[in-house]
Structures are given as structure tokens and as C-alpha cells.
Chains A and B, each alone.
Chain A
Amino acid sequence: MKAIVTVIGKDTKGIIAKVSNFLFERDINIEDISQTIMQDFFSMVMMVNIVDIKTPFSVIAKECDNLGKELGLEIRIQSEDIFNAMHRI
């Protein structure tokens, strides 16, 4: 079961480490990472596998949101379905 984690914000030290750790703690495996810097804004997209999660997805989604607020970033986790639906026929 795949999901997409998006991280957007001002580039600061340790973003990748903190987010990876958050995911590791929740048994979420990172399968692919893409990142880009657009006009000072750091954007990272991770393809992750949530097959082993122990808590409900909506709880993890909320925790992601909170982590983002803590770090001054926008962090979201979404099912990959919405991106597949929109960008693939």
C-alpha cells in the first residue's frame, strides 16, 4: 500500500533526517525520494509503503501535519491513489 509524503518549506538543516525518522518510527518504509528547490522553497516528495503501519492512516496524517507545524514546514501524507487518478489514464 503506497502513499506519498510531501514536504514543502524553507530549506533548513536536518529536514530529511527528521522526516525519515518520523516515518521509521511508524513502520513506514521509504521507497523513493525526489526533491527540488523552487524559488527558495524546498520541496520533497517521498514514495512510501504503509503496509506495516500499526495506527490508522488518519492518525498518522494528523501526526505528519503536527510535525510539519513543529518544524515550520508543510508535511503531508496522502494515498498515492489521488495522484494516480489525476495524472494517469
Chain B
Amino acid sequence: MININEVLETNKMIRSQHLDVRTITMGISLLDCIGSTISETKQLVKEKILKKAEKLVAVGEELSAELGIPIVNKRISVTPISLITARTGGSVEIAKVLDECAEILGVDFIGGYSALVHKGMTEYEKEFIKTIPEALSVTKKVCSSVNIGSTKAGINMDAVKMMGEIIKETAYLTKDNGSIGCAKLVVFANAVEDNPFMAGAFHGVGEADVVINVGVSGPGVVKAALENVKSKDLTVVAETIKNVAYKITRVGQLVAKMASERLNANFGIVDLSLAPTPVMGDSVAHILEEIGLESVGAYGTTACLALLNDAVKKGGIMASSHVGGLSGAFIPVSEDIGMINAVKNGKLCLEKLEAMTAICSVGLDMIAIPGSTDKDVISAIIADEAAIGVVNNKTTAVRIIPVHGKDEGEVDFGGLLGTAPIMKINTSSPNEFISRGGRIPAPVWANKN
């Protein structure tokens, strides 16, 4: 028997603490859409996506009405396109098909214009990566990612070198829109196959044909819970977060289960990530400040984030039958009002963000930097982030926007992508290091067998 306090508690989380289902993402395998010509592939891809995801948005809305919780985004992820077009080429045309499907179906993003090159690149993959800037500039909803390193493989520094150039070119081609193309491009180390969040989502080759992955979000709920335990010790703080994370994740589990049944798909995973939005009351930075920091970015930030991330995982793991995706606290600078303010006030710098990615969150995300930044500096930022991920056996990523034509101020992407203040960076040249290319070998503890 559900009691009145439980009902009121759940609804308070939804109505005033911004608890929502951040995304239902349908992963679709395109391995059976590889035609012998690009026209054939285009047709097969379009047919399959339109067929499998036909009811995705409708089911999302249905579940939202039934459960009384917003289901904010419905998204699609596909098999990395570099695998689908390896024989025929024409990947930009496939990007347009993906964009068209997203438009027809009413989903807000479609991810998977991706390549997995952690150990090495085929000639075709190099060509594919070079098409990323164009693909992102001629489409609206397509997201792209490249995996340049892994704990098992080490770091592909040839790919890292390329990605610095690719990011600059993407910024240039979308310069009339605040270089927004870069907001749809993620460079990964240890990328996961079942991430429901954009821009890094793709449908890995180890996955079933059609899979539902869900991301829930409630930074506001966590913060509200912590407001009740002011000046209690950190064990109490950790327990409070853990208990709330359990409740939040239970909603994700329920939605994933119901959505996969209604869409005739496999239940994939629930991603435990605490994902903020730019709206007030929905900030991860504010949770850290609630734990007791004057501003996110102060010393103590890394420790608080370690506590938060761990407690979220412990509560969330109990709540879900399968946990996956990124499942780490997100610290996207443009999508978190607390982060934006801390950067603007000079309290949060890139070096601190890098430290935070080492301990428990997913990466340098939505970082706007001066448009004049050298491509090798960008590659070196990627290399640093990759090293953190590869050595610590975790996913790290870089989603960085060198805003073409702007070296200070801020850039507004609109919507969920938010507003990003342009951050100062260290311009000392890593040029000789990046020019060397080659591979950084896998760390010794990758040899676990």
C-alpha cells in the first residue's frame, strides 16, 4: 500500500526539484543495412530506422503522461557509420539520411556518426574522420564521436593529432552558429557502447538489434535532500545521496522496462549519470557547493565530487537490473548554471576541471575556448584527457568548442546546449610532442589475464 507521504515525496521531486527522465535512447544496429552501393545503404538505413523507431516519440509521451514525469528527450543511436560505409564511401550522404530520419520521427538527436580507432586507423577511417566537419555542418541533429584510446590499446596519437584539426575545421564550418558543430562532436577514450546521452552516443557492435537505454536526472533532487542534512558529517552526506540516488534511478529502471516492452526492443541499461541542465535548481555544481564549498572550483571540489559520484553509483546500482552508459556525474560547463557562474567569476579553471575528470566524471565537456587556439593545443588537451581515462580504466572525453572569431566573452548555443563562457587556456606549445604521432602504449595494468 502506497502511503500519502510517499506519493507527495515523489511528486515533489518531479514538480519542484526537476526530477525527470533525461532521455530514452533507442540504439539500432545498422549492420544489416550495409548495401553494395551507397544508394542501397541509404535506403536500407532509412527504412530500418523509420520502422524500428516509428513509435519512439509516441511511447515516450505516453509513458510521460501515465507516470506523470517529464520524459525530456527521445533519441536514437546507431552503429558507428564508419563501419557501415567502409566499402561504399558516401558517409556524408548517410549523415543526411540520419538527419532526415530524426526530423521525420521527431527525435532531438541521432548519434553514431562515429569511428573507433583506439589502436589504429584504416585508410577509410582516416577519410571518414575527415568528413566529420562537413557532416556536422550540413545536418542539424546528427552527433559524432571518435574513440582514440583505450586501456587495452593505449592511445592512438595519430588520431589525436587529426582530431585537433578536425575540431578546428568543424568550428570553422559552423562559425555562423557559434561553432555549434563542435558541440556535437566528442573525442573519447574508453568509449562505451550503450551511452544514451549525446553527443557521444553510438550503438556498439556488441549490442542486440534494437535496445532501449535510459538516462534519468535529478541533480535538483540530490541538492534538496542535502539541504536537510546541513552540518552533518560526510558519512551522513554520502548516505543521503545514496538513498536519493536509489529513488531517482528506480524511475529510470521503470521507464526503461516499460519503454522496451512497448517498443518491442531489448532492455539495455539505465545510465546513472547525474546530468544537469542550465535551468536554476538543476545543477551538479550546486550540489558540490551544498556539500560545503563557497564555489565549485575551490580546493575540495575534487573530493566532494568523488564522494558524490561514488554515492550516486552505490544507490543507483541497487536500483537497476543493468547499469551502463557513462554512469558518472556530468560537469558540462555550458549546461550547468553553477559551472557557468564559477567560470565567469574566475573560480573554476580548466586545470581543476581536468582534475575532476580524473576522479569521477566523464570528461571536459562543453568547454568553449578561444577560436584562435592552435590545433595542436587542442590535440594535447585530448591527449591529457585520454591519458587520464586510459591509465585509470575509465571513460574520459573531450567536447571542446574553439569559437571561431571569438577569443573572449561567451557563446550561446540555445536550448539544452546552453551558454558557454570562453575559458582561458595555457597556450605553451605542445607542437613537437603532437607532431611525433604514433601510439602511446597501453599501461602495464591493462595486462590482466
Contact = CB atoms under 8 A, between A and B. Distances in A.
Interface residue tally of chain A, by bracket? 20 to 34
Contacts of A78: 66-68
B423 to A, nearest CB: 38
Contact of A47 (B2, B8, B66, B69): B2
A6 B7 contact: yes
Interface residues of B, number: 24
B44 to A, nearest CB: 34
Contacts of A87: 2, 6, 9-10, 247
Contacts of A86: 6, 10, 247, 250-251
Contacts of B258: 81
B62 interface: yes
B3 A34 contact: yes
A78 B3 CA distance: 14
B379 to A, nearest CB: 45
A83 B254 contact: no
A4 B254 CA distance: 16
Given A58-B66, A79-B67, A6 B2 contact: no
A17 interface: no
A82 B216 CA distance: 13
Contacts of B4: 34-36, 43, 45
A81 B254 contact: yes
Given A34-B3, A58-B65, A82 B254 contact: yes
Task: State the main secondary structure of chain A at its contact with B.
Answer: strand
Contact of A84 (B2, B9, B61, B66): B2
Contacts of A76: 11, 68
A79 B251 CA distance: 12
A87 B247 CA distance: 7
Contacts of A62: 65
A57 B10 CA distance: 20
B151 interface: no
A11 interface: no
Nearest to A84: B2
Contacts of A77: 68
A43 B254 contact: no
Given A6-B8, A61-B65, A81-B67, 5 more contacts: A4-B7, A32-B1, A45-B7, A79-B66, A87-B6
Give 6 closest A-B pairs by Cβ, nearest first.
A78-B68, A58-B65, A34-B4, A85-B254, A82-B67, A45-B4
29 contacts: A4-B2, A6-B7, A8-B8, A35-B4, A36-B4, A43-B4, A45-B2, A57-B66, A58-B61, A61-B65, A61-B66, A61-B68, A62-B65, A76-B11, A76-B68, A78-B66, A78-B67, A79-B66, A81-B254, A82-B68, A82-B251, A82-B254, A83-B6, A84-B2, A85-B253, A86-B250, A86-B251, A87-B2, A87-B6
Interface of A: 4, 6, 8, 32, 34-36, 43, 45, 47, 57-58, 61-62, 74, 76-87
